[in-house]
């Protein structure tokens, strides 16, 4: 199983996240969507490639991802049916699961860059699923699910690297580096958007509590100066009409 230093550091927080049946259900249903999405991208990749061997492997891979989607969905719904209510957590975003092909446009990639991207994506998925498996001792069915899916992700990781070395033996390492840099850039953009969202929320909240109260107080004072009760309005004189 693949394990990273990052996974070890995040383990206590992941344990906390996966304690809640509501969040387990929510995350599994999210994973199901990503896996199904990844499967569709792989079918498209199989249609586009001119390499017969790759076409067969991409289709087999797509079938695996579609099966993972069904397995995650079934377990997620079972947890929800068992009483898990929907929930949101600040650490929710820490469990990304399999990133699929992210927002990669399969049509714009050649076999080499696609295989490099698939390899890195599957490696990350294997590492993530191994870390969830490690903190799920309290939920044997979900733990067994991750164990099963993890084996598939590791095999996807291996076949994509083998195929990359087959189709581009001279440039495989460079293709992997390029894919790494692209993933880093996407990760940076995700973090930048999240930070911008936090800042805008903080600024709007401060505006609400600092700028609005003086206006509210001014309106209150103005209302106090108004005479109470009914006010008699003088009848209009003939000369004042139409003004
Ligand atoms: Fe998968
Ligand atoms: Fe996979």
Rounded to the nearest angstrom, the distance between the alpha carbon of 156 and the centre of ligand 2 is 6
* Domain ranges within the chain, ordered by starting residue: 5-178
H-helix segments, the chain = 5-19, 21-48, 52-81, 111-134, 140-167, 172-210, 212-225
* Rounded distance between C-alpha atoms, residue 117 and residue 32, angstroms: 20
* Rounded distance between C-alpha atoms, residue 45 and residue 95, angstroms: 27
Rounded to the nearest angstrom, the distance between the alpha carbon of 89 and the centre of ligand 2 is 26
30-89 residue pLDDT tens: 999 999 999 999 999 999 999 999 999 999 999 999 999 999 999 999 998 876 665 555
Rounded to the nearest angstrom, the distance between the alpha carbon of 13 and the centre of ligand 1 is 23
17-26 residue pLDDT tens: 788 888 899 9
Rounded to the nearest angstrom, the distance between the alpha carbon of 175 and the centre of ligand 1 is 22
pLDDT surpasses 50 at 197:
yes
Give the pLDDT confidence score for residue 91 in this predicted structure.
47
The number of the ligand nearest the C-alpha atom of 119 reads: 2
CB under 5 Å of ion ligand 2: residues: 122, 153, 156
CATH topology of domain 5-178: Ferritin (1.20.1260)
Rounded to the nearest angstrom, the distance between the alpha carbon of 139 and the centre of ligand 2 is 23
Rounded to the nearest angstrom, the distance between the alpha carbon of 70 and the centre of ligand 2 is 13
Which pTM value belongs to this model? 0.73
pLDDT surpasses 50 at 242:
no
Rounded to the nearest angstrom, the distance between the alpha carbon of 125 and the centre of ligand 2 is 7
182-192 residue pLDDT tens: 989 988 888 88
Closest CA to 143 of 129, 125, 157, 127: 129
User: Terminal CA-to-CA distance of the chain, rounded, Å?
Assistant: 87
Closest CA to 89 of 9, 4, 30: 30
């Amino acid at each position: 199983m693949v394990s990273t230093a990052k996974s070890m550091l995040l383990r206590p927080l992941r344990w906390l996240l996966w304690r809640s049946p509501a969040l387990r259900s929510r995350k599994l249903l999210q994973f199901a969507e990503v896996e199904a999405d990844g499967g569709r991208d792989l079918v498209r990749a199989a249609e586009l490639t001119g390499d017969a061997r790759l076409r067969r492997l991409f289709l087999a891979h797509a079938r695996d991802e579609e099966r993972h989607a069904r397995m995650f969905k079934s377990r997620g719904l079972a947890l929800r049916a068992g009483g898990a209510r929907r929930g949101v957590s600040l650490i929710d975003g820490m469990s990304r699961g399999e990133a699929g092909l992210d927002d990669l446009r399969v049509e714009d990639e050649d076999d080499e860059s696609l295989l490099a991207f698939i390899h890195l994506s599957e490696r990350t998925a294997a590492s993530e699923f191994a870390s969830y498996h490690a903190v799920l001792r309290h939920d044997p069915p979900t733990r067994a699910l991750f164990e099963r899916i993890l084996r598939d992700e590791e095999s996807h990781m291996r076949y994509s690297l083998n195929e990359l070395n087959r189709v581009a033996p001279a440039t495989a390492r460079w293709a992997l580096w390029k894919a790494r840099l692209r993933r880093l850039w996407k990760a940076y953009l995700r973090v930048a958007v999240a930070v911008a969202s936090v800042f805008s929320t903080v600024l709007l909240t401060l505006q609400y509590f600092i700028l609005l109260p003086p206006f509210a107080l001014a309106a209150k004072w103005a209302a106090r100066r108004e005479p109470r009760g009914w006010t008699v309005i003088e009848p209009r004189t003939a000369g004042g009409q139409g003004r």
